[in-house]
Every structure is written in structure tokens, then in C-alpha cells.
Amino acid sequence: MKMLINVPETVVADALRGLAAAHPELTVDVENRVIVRRDAPVAGQVGLVSGGGSGHEPLHGGFVGPGMLSAACPGEVFTSPVPDQMLRAAAAVDSGAGVLFIVKNYTGDVLNFDMAAELAEDEGIQVAKVLVNDDVAVTDSLYTAGRRGTGATLFVEKIAGAAAAEGMPLERVQAIARQVNESSRSFGIALSACSTPAKGSPTFDLPPGELELGIGIHGEPGRERRAMMTSGEIAEAAVEAVVEDLQPHNPVLVLVNGMGATPLLELYGFHAEVHRVLAQRGVPVARVLVGNYVTSLDMAGASLTLCQVDEELLRLYDAPVSTPGLRWGM
């Protein structure tokens, strides 16, 4: 596989150097692998820290900035960051109002963020946590106990970030983040496997005429493999899986997310089918986001996330945000 890299060993460091050069509004510590908004800590505001393995960009580092995350900790490709990174991030963004850790439900992330929270508490930093576990495809997988954390991470980080920007206390920001997670469900589809820089070849075997329903963002197995389907058939399967589990009674935010190698031409076509199926099911749509936000390197495919919202959550979602990966209202 041809990749636009120097050597596999420096992929993350090279990307962080590039991020720093492109976005001077961020403070990027390449050596210690911490990305912080340059104006942190912001007086009176809860700090939001997230992170995870690299390879899912713009998640998480691309979501650091006003109205979203205060800091992010990138690990090696598909590998959890370590507690020291999380502790550095918490110390950098704590204004005295406390810090919220937003953690995707992968075993390494959970264990390391738990350890970092204990270390931060020892240093006098008040820490709360929220676990993102929105994927309806499988209950347990190679990397998780329980449901995986996927596309809803964007909604949690955006809405909780807006709550923090309004000066809400830590307990309230945590409660809103949990509400968003509980109101969200996701389902992913792979049309091809991804290739990690270290391996240099596909991470699993997916024959040309097949797709995998319910794939994870690291290439974990899904619910089943089928012969290739049309965009409309895939949308029907994804919407059914999400809506049957979520049972929305409020309008929903819709995220049609590319896995990294699917062009916008296909993603917008897929959204047209998702929109059709939601309308047939009587699910009202409040807002739509289409693009590559929670990716899996060069995997072809897409994921669908729905988050049902009340007036407050919709107001917070619409609030201004200014990050490399998400920007509006500023």
C-alpha cells in the first residue's frame, strides 16, 4: 500500500507537527502528545479533555478549540494514549472549575483515563467522566466490554463544549454529556478494510464483492457480511438498526460520517437515502452533518449516528464552535 508518509514510526509526530504549523491557535506538544487550545485555561470554564488512538482524524485533536474540547491526547495509531498525557492535558486546562474526561468505550482508553483521573485528583484537580458507548452493532468486541464508542463522540464533545463555554458547573456539563450519549446510537458499514502504517496492508480480509455491516472504527468485526448492496439498501439496514434501538420521540441530529476513503459524492448520495428512510419512518430531522469526522484511516464505508434532542440540546449544538474540524457561528 502506498502512503503519504516518511516512515511508520514517525506518522503521529509528523501529523502533530503539521497540525501545529496549520493551526497556531492551538498549542501542540509533539513530544508529549498533547493538543491544547492556546487560551487555556479559560477562567470560570470547565475543561474538556478527550483522546484516543490516532487514525480517526479529525477526532479528537481536530475538535480542540472554543465551543468544543479544551485539549486532546492522541495515542499511536489505534492505540490508547497513556495516563501521563491525560494528566498533562488536565493540568493545562483546569481553571479551578474542574475537568470533564470524555472517554470512548474501548478498554485501553477506559483504564488509562481512570488512572489519569486518580492522578489528577491527587494533584487537586476535580475530574468527572462520561463514557461514550453509542454503537448498536455489537455488545462486546475485540476492544471493548459493552458497546463501542463511535460517532456520538462528536455530539458529546460539541454539546458539552457549548455547555462549558456558557460557564455551567462541572456536574451540569457532565449530566448534559451523559444525556447526549444516552440519546445517541450509531451503526457503521465497511466497504473495504483499512491499512495501518505499521502493517502497510489491509488489517482484515474483505472480498471485493462483500461488505460488513456493523463494523467498528478499528476494523473490528460487525454483525454480518453480505454481498454488496445499493446505497438505499445499506441506508435501510443502518436506519433500522439505529431507530429500533433508539426509539426516538424527539427530532434527531443526523451524522452521516465517512470512514476515511469514501468521497463526499457518495456520502451525500447515502444521506439522500438515509433522509428518505427516516421520513418513511416518521422521524423528524433537526440538523444534518455529512463528512469525514470519525474515521478509520483509509477505510471505505460510512457510519450513521442519530441523537434525539430537546430544545436545550439543540440550542447547545447550534452554539458557536471554532476548531480545525468543526466550525460555525464565529
Q: Which of 218, 249, 271, 275 is catalytic?
A: 218
The enclosing H or E element of 101 equals strand 99-104
Contact criterion met (CB below 8 Å) for 211 and 237: no
Strands 127-132 and 99-104: parallel
**What mean pLDDT comes out for the span 163-171?**
98
Secondary structure (3-state) at 59: coil
Please return the burial class of 221, using the count of CB atoms within 10 Å of its CB with bins 0-12, 13-18 and 19+: middle
Q: Is residue 202 pLDDT above 90, yes or no?
A: no
- Eight-state DSSP code of residue 63: G
Contact criterion met (CB below 8 Å) for 303 and 150: yes
Contact criterion met (CB below 8 Å) for 184 and 305: yes
Distance separating alpha carbons of residues 204 and 169, to the nearest angstrom? 45
- What angle separates helix 264-280 from helix 231-246, to the nearest 10 degrees? 50
**What mean pLDDT comes out for the span 289-318?**
98
Residue 60 catalytic?
no
pLDDT confidence of residue 61:
98
The total of other beta-carbon atoms located within 10 Å of residue 246's CB is 20
Residue 56 catalytic?
yes
Contact criterion met (CB below 8 Å) for 99 and 127: yes
Contact criterion met (CB below 8 Å) for 209 and 219: no
Nearest to 69, CA basis, from 160, 146, 169 = 160
Q: Write the pLDDT tens digit of every residue in 262-279.
A: 999 999 999 999 999 999
pLDDT confidence of residue 221:
76
Q: Write the pLDDT tens digit of every residue in 245-258.
A: 999 999 999 999 99
- Provide the pLDDT confidence category of residue 142 given band limits of 50, 70 and 90: low
Q: Write the pLDDT tens digit of every residue in 4-36.
A: 999 999 999 999 999 999 999 999 999 999 999
The mean pLDDT of the chain is: 96
Give the percent of the chain with pLDDT over 90: 91
Half-sphere exposure of 303 (CA within 13 A, CB side): 35
Q: What angle do CA 260, 264, 265 make, to 5 degrees?
A: 135
- Eight-state DSSP code of residue 259: -
- Provide the pLDDT confidence category of residue 141 given band limits of 50, 70 and 90: low
Distance separating alpha carbons of residues 230 and 186, to the nearest angstrom? 20
Q: Is residue 143 pLDDT above 70, yes or no?
A: no
pLDDT confidence of residue 56:
98
pLDDT confidence of residue 203:
82
Answer yes or no: pTM beyond 0.75.
Answer: yes
Residues pairing with 306 in the sheet = 185, 254
Contact criterion met (CB below 8 Å) for 239 and 305: no
Distance separating alpha carbons of residues 162 and 45, to the nearest angstrom? 10
State the alpha helices, DSSP H only, in the chain. Answer: 11-22, 83-93, 107-122, 152-165, 170-182, 231-246, 264-280, 311-318
**What mean pLDDT comes out for the span 183-207?**
92
**What mean pLDDT comes out for the span 209-223?**
88
pLDDT confidence of residue 155:
99
- Eight-state DSSP code of residue 40: P
